Structure formats: structure tokens, C-alpha cells
């Protein structure tokens, strides 16, 4: 079973339900995490179970208590900062990371590529196409 941690500031919104349901139908376990602070608490918890295959991040989220508004460009790049924090951690340094956002930004695409992450734009994908991309990326040797 593929285990995915999905971090979003509005993780329970109906707009993500189809994507999550499609991944579950394909045998994935989804651990939904509400916002950056909750995820960073998980990251630091010595009793936590961080055995996952993939982390999906929203790009634009409130900065929480650990990132500055300026560094996160007032929330528009919080997912990038979180991705960098994940890459710097021992537990998740090699995990697959996907940034899933409505934002179309070449700089973000390049930062994801340089970090070995995948950048998927919500507007370009139907829910099953999104699931196809996630499954392909998680199973890749990259």
C-alpha cells in the first residue's frame, strides 16, 4: 500500500475529495494534515510514524508559526518553504514530494525540479489524471 501524507490549509474542502477518493481506490492510504504547523509537529514527534512514500503539499498556505510572512511571500510560497524543511530533515530527505497548486509559476516549477519534487497544476488535471501522475511519480526510480 502506498502511504501519502497530504498537507493543505483546507484539507477537507470538497474540491480535493475526488483526488483523495481516486487515490484511495488505487490502494493508497491518505493521511490528511491541516496546515504547516500540524505537519511540522508531526515531523518533530519522536513517537510519530513517518514511514510514507509521498508528501503532497499545497503551495499557498498560511505561514504558521515557523515561517516568516516575508520569506513565504505572504503565504504564496509556504509550500516551497515546507518542501525545503522536509528535504533538510533526516526522516524525509528522500521521500517523494508533490506540490499541487492552482498557481502557474515557472520559478516554482524550477525549484521543485531542483529539489526532486513534482509540481502539478490543479487547473491542468482531472482527478483521475492527477492520480495517474501521483502513482507514476511515486513508483518512479527518480
Range of the domain at 10: 2-139
As a whole number of angstroms, the distance between CA 101 and CA 22 comes to 18
CB 58 within 8 Å of CB 8: yes
Is residue 7 within 8 A of residue 36, CB to CB? The reply is yes
Q: Do 73 and 93 meet the contact criterion of CB atoms below 8 Å apart?
A: no
pLDDT digits (tens, 9 = 90+) for 13-39: 877 899 999 999 999 999 999 989 998
pLDDT in tens, 81-139: 899 888 887 677 788 999 999 888 888 899 899 888 999 998 899 999 999 999 999 99
Q: What is 44-112 written as a DSSP string?
A: H-TT-----SEEEE-SS---TTTS-TTTTTTTTTHHHHHHHHHHHSTTTTTSEEEEEES---HHHHHHH
Number of domains in the chain: 1
- CATH number, domain containing residue 8: 3.40.50.2300
Task: Give the global pTM.
Answer: 0.90
Amino acid at each position: 500500500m502506498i502511504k501519502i501524507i497530504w498537507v493543505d490549509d483546507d484539507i477537507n474542502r470538497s474540491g480535493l475529495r475526488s483526488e483523495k477518493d481516486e487515490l484511495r481506490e488505487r490502494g493508497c492510504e491518505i493521511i490528511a494534515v491541516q496546515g504547516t504547523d500540524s505537519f511540522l509537529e508531526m515531523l518533530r514527534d519522536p513517537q510519530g510514524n513517518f514511514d510514507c512514500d509521498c508528501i503532497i503539499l499545497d503551495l499557498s498556505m498560511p505561514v504558521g508559526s515557523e515561517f516568516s510572512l516575508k520569506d513565504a511571500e505572504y503565504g504564496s510560497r509556504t509550500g516551497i518553504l515546507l518542501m525545503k524543511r522536509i528535504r533538510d530533515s533526516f526522516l524525509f530527505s528522500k521521500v517523494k514530494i508533490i506540490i499541487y497548486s492552482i498557481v502557474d509559476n515557472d520559478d516554482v516549477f524550477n525549484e521543485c525540479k531542483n529539489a526532486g519534487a513534482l509540481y502539478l497544476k490543479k487547473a491542468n488535471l482531472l482527478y483521475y489524471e492527477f492520480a495517474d501522475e501521483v502513482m507514476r511519480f511515486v513508483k518512479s526510480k527518480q
